Amino acid sequence: MFLRRLSLLVSTVFTLLAVAALPACKDYPYSTSLPGTLDVRFKTVSTNIPYSPLNSLPMQLTVVRAIRSDNAKQEVFEDLRAIRRYTSYFDAFSIESFDSTNEIGQSSTPPGSFIGIDLIIQPIGMVTLDGYRFISISTSASVQTYIALRTPISIQEAKTTTVVVTFNVDSSLTRGAESFYYKPKFTISSVQIE
Mean pLDDT, the chain, rounded, equals: 89
Confidence of residue 153 (pLDDT cuts 50, 70, 90): very high
Q: For residues 173 and 181, is the Cβ–Cβ distance under 8 A?
A: yes
Residue 16 has pLDDT above 90, yes or no: no
Q: For residues 150 and 117, is the Cβ–Cβ distance under 8 A?
A: no
Model confidence, pTM: 0.81
DSSP secondary structure code for residue 78 in this structure = S
Predicted confidence at residue 1, as pLDDT, reads 65
